[in-house]
């Protein structure tokens, strides 16, 4: 977004950035063009390809949820009707607020913490003046009917979100659309419901929801019903709906584009959540194969629960550290439950989001300290790696600053922190104070230059001296590490090894910067390839040089939690993986069935190859030949 970011819109962005998802699933997107599966001369079924966001297989009958939607009546109202129309919209807002509050209150105590957070996000969006108040202004000033006014404002917000460079923030547009859809359903008298299923209809009890889009709140309403999986036209890897699907362990595929138009009510559907593929009206032989796969997956998942307390040791006796990525202190419970050996990435910026604008103050040192302390205490002696603030450019703390033309390459992360030394010093003091309560490690994002490293270490030294002078306890031997997410950093690694205690590879940005593509841009998404020879060269180089120097190296991006790449990374010599807690047991199983000597030999051959198709085939073969 160019020019000055309107303060009210920045507040809405911050509201939508309340929670960040884990990074699960595939790194590519296929066109959603139906493909026929031919059995003999009969066209038995067709497939749709989208984005896999939650693993597993779902088989059931299609239930279509029609959008209220954006195709609503547009008409002008008279001056005498304005207040009545204003009242209609205000009543809709009140009703939706009550619905969301009820959903929030009815969440079981054992629910993952992010589920309630997403409902809270929708409640905050509903209260934001950028949505409801400005829609009311349109009714009063332009004399549009309520539905038209709401759609007009939603379209304006969508256009603004589309100009945001950041992947996560751009996808928050979907949360605004979902709240708008819920309001429109109330205004138009439509509803989002699943059919009742009686006890005699067990064979039809598995329902696959097919929708243009589906909100997390609606998904939570369905949780006690026969809800096997869902397919949506919209959505992405980082959408809140995708995160809820993973949290509830519901197979899903999103970004299907035309699914809600091509699939008919009561069609039999198979969702292959691992591949992001939907098979409509499958032939008997295909249905049988997928039922067998589904049963096998269920047995495998039950077995995974048995290895929670098992040490992650390879067949040749090498211990692997499996760590968790978290956003909030409350996420530590899931990390502990999954058996994580610590936190490899605490994304601290989410303590700051929602604190934007002239009427909002940044979190104080004490507020930050308390959040870090809670996480450290919750991990019960296991290490907690806290990444310093990764905001700036398209995620501004100060709404008066101008947004960069290319935020991904602009004043962000450590560049931003060094430009705002008081803000950085406050965070460093808070993190250091938390280190008195357990093992804490400092992780610095987006370093590329020696002078940046030196300035950062000097700031850490200044924060330490201030605390000493004040008699405040902290860990004098706290370790400081660098994120390797810029190709220049990977290629100039000796200057990092000389100055830092550990390294953490952020594969998401490293791949994006190496290949010069935005992986959520549908025009170039097919170019995002973790197995590109250049990416593998950088990964293997960082891991090898780090091990040679005796400096720990971890991977904390999507590749760490994707079992397709576990053995490849092990073969490169990686000993530390950090991922979403939900991915940890599956990765541990790969570790337990791996022989490092054999994997090392296979990986060396792969790294000598420069043909992408051959590399992909070899990586796939690794999982079949080593066990």
Q: Which residues are annotated as a binding site for phosphoenolpyruvate?
A: 347, 387, 508-509, 519
Residues 6+ apart with CB under 8 A from 137: none
Burial (CB count <10 Å: 0-12, 13-18, 19+), residue 15: buried
Per the annotation, where are the binding residues? 347, 387, 485, 508-509, 519
Joined together, the tokens standing for residue 75 give 């008409």
Residues 6+ apart with CB under 8 A from 27: 511, 519, 528, 529, 530, 558
Q: Are 543 and 574 in contact (CB under 8 A)?
A: yes
Joined together, the tokens standing for residue 299 give 């047995």
Buried b (16+ CB within 10 A) or exposed e, 21-42: bbbbbbbbbbebeeeeeeeeee
Nearest to 121 by CA among 16, 242, 13: 16
5 catalytic per annotation:
no
CA distance 298 to 287: 16
Joined together, the tokens standing for residue 572 give 């490169």
Nearest to 446 by CA among 431, 456, 459: 456
Cα→Cα distances 616→126, 219, 529, 530, 612, Å: 45, 35, 10, 10, 6
CA distance 385 to 325: 9
Q: Are 314 and 592 in contact (CB under 8 A)?
A: yes
Q: Which of 5, 332, 417, 556 is catalytic?
A: 556
- CA dihedral 94→98→100→103, nearest 10 degrees, is -170
36 catalytic per annotation:
no
Distinct helix (H) and strand (E) counts, the chain: 25, 17
Q: Are 508 and 467 in contact (CB under 8 A)?
A: no
Helix, strand, coil shares of the chain, percent, nearest 5, are 50, 15, 35
Q: Which of 49, 63, 122, 240 is catalytic?
A: 240
Nearest to 21 by CA among 177, 170, 168, 216: 168
State the DSSP code for 40: T
| HEC profile of 179-222 | HHHHHHHHHHCCCCCCCCCCHHHHHHCCEEEEECCCCHHHHHHH
Chain position carrying tokens 């197995």: 531
Using CA of residue 332, residue 334, residue 336, residue 339, what is the dihedral sign? negative
> What is the DSSP annotation of 502-518?
EEEE-HHHHHHHHHT--
Q: What is the CA radius of gyration of the chain?
A: 25
Active site residues per annotation = 240, 556
């Amino acid at each position: 977004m160019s020019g000055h970011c309107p303060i009210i819109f920045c507040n809405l962005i911050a509201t939508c950035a309340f929670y960040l998802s884990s990074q699960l699933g595939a790194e590519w997107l296929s066109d959603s063009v139906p493909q026929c599966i031919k059995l003999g001369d009969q066209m038995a079924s067709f497939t749709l390809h989208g984005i896999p966001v939650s693993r597993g297989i779902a088989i059931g009958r299609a239930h279509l949820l029609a959008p209220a939607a954006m195709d609503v009546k547009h008409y002008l109202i008279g001056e005498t009707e304005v207040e009545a129309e204003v009242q209609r919209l205000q009543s809709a807002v009140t009703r939706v607020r009550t619905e969301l509050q009820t959903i929030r209150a009815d969440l079981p105590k054992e629910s993952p913490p992010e589920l309630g957070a997403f409902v809270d996000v929708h409640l905050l969006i509903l209260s934001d003046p950028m949505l409801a108040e400005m829609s009311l202004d349109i009714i009063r000033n332009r004399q549009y009917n309520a539905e038209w006014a709401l759609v007009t404002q939603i379209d304006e917000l969508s256009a603004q979100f589309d100009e945001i460079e950041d992947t996560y923030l751009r996808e928050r547009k979907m949360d605004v659309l979902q709240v708008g859809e819920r309001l429109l359903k109330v205004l138009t008298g439509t509803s989002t419901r699943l059919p009742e299923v009686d006890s005699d209809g067990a064979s039809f009890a598995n329902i696959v929801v097919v929708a243009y889009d589906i909100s997390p709140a609606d998904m939570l309403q369905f949780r006690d019903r026969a809800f096997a999986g869902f397919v949506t036209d919209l959505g992405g890897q980082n959408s809140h709906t995708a995160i809820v699907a993973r949290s509830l362990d519901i197979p899903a595929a999103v970004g299907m584009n035309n699914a809600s138009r091509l699939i008919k009510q009561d069609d039999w559907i198979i969702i292959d959540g691992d591949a992001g593929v939907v098979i409509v009206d499958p032939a008997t032989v295909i249905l049988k194969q997928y039922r067998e796969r589904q049963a096998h997956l269920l047995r495998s998942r039950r077995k995974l629960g048995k290895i929670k307390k098992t040490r992650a040791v390879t067949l040749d006796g090498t211990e692997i550290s499996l760590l968790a990525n978290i956003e909030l202190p409350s996420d530590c419970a899931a990390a502990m439950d999954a058996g994580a050996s610590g936190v490899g990435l605490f994304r601290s910026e989410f303590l700051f989001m929602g604190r934007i604008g002239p009427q909002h103050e940044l979190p104080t040192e004490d507020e930050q300290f308390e959040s870090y302390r809670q996480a450290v205490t919750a991990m019960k002696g296991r290490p907690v790696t806290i990444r310093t603030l990764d905001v700036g450019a398209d995620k501004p703390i100060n709404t008066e600053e101008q947004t960069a033309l290319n935020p991904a390459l602009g004043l962000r992360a450590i560049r931003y922190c060094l430009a705002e030394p008081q803000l950085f010093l406050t965070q460093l003091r808070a993190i250091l104070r938390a280190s008195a309560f357990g093992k804490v490690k400092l992780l610095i994002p987006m370093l590329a230059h020696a002078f940046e490293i030196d300035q950062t270490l000097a700031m850490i030294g200044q924060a330490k001296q201030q605390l000493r002078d004040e008699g405040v306890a902290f860990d004098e031997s706290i370790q400081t590490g660098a994120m390797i997410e810029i190709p220049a950093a990977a290629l100039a690694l000796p200057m990092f090894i000389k100055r830092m205690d550990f390294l953490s590879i952020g594969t998401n940005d490293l791949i994006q910067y190496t290949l010069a593509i935005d992986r959520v841009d549908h025009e170039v998404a097919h170019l995002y390839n973790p197995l590109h020879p250049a990416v593998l060269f950088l990964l293997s180089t960082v891991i090898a040089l780090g091990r040679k120097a005796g400096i720990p190296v971890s991977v904390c991006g999507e590749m760490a939690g994707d079992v397709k790449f576990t053995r490849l990374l092990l073969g490169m010599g990686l000993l530390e993986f950090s991922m979403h807690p939900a991915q940890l047991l599956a990765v541990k199983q790969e570790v337990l069935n791996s022989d490092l000597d054999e994997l090392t030999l296979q990986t060396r051959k792969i790294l000598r190859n420069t043909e992408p198709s051959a590399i992909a085939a070899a990586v796939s073969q690794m999982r079949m030949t080593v066990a």
